[in-house]
Amino acid sequence: MQDRAERKLVRAAMKAPYLAPDHEQALAERWHNKHDQQALHEIAIAHMRLVIAMASRFRSFGLPVGDLIQEGHIGLLEAASRFDPGRGVRFSTYATWWIRASMQDYVLRNWSIVRGGTSSAQKALFFNYRRLRAKLQKGMGTAAEIHQEAARVLGVSVADVAVMDARLSGSDVSLNAPVREEGEGSAERMEFIPSEDEPIDEVVGRTIDAERRASWLADAMEVLDNRELQIIRERRLSEEGATLEALGVELGISKERVRQIENRALEKLRLALTRAHPVLSAPMV
**pLDDT value, residue 285:** 46
Q: Residue 188 forms beta bridges with which residues?
A: 178
Q: Quick one: 15 exposed, middle or buried, by C-beta within 10 A (0-12, 13-18, 19+)?
A: exposed
| CA 216 to each of CA 184, 203, 256, 274, 280: distance values in angstroms, whole numbers, following the listed order | 51, 20, 29, 10, 11
**pLDDT value, residue 284:** 46
Upper half-sphere CA count for residue 83 (Cβ side, 13 Å): 33
Largest CA distance in the chain: 104
* 188 three-class SS: strand
Q: End-to-end alpha-carbon separation of the chain, Å?
A: 75
Q: What is the mean pLDDT of each run of 10 residues along the chain (285 residues)?
A: 67 79 88 86 88 87 86 90 86 91 85 60 71 73 78 80 70 62 63 74 84 87 89 86 88 91 91 80 49
Q: Whole-angstrom Cα distance, residue 32 to residue 80?
A: 9
DSSP one-letter code for 280:
-
**pLDDT value, residue 179:** 66
The structural domains of the chain, ordered by start, are 2-110 (1.20.120.1810), 120-169 (no CATH), 200-276 (1.10.10.10)
Quickly list DSSP for 140-186. --SHHHHHHHHHHHHTS-HHHHHHHHHHHHS----TTSBS-SSSSSP
* 89 three-class SS: coil
- For the question of whether the overall pTM of this predicted structure is more than 0.85, the answer is no
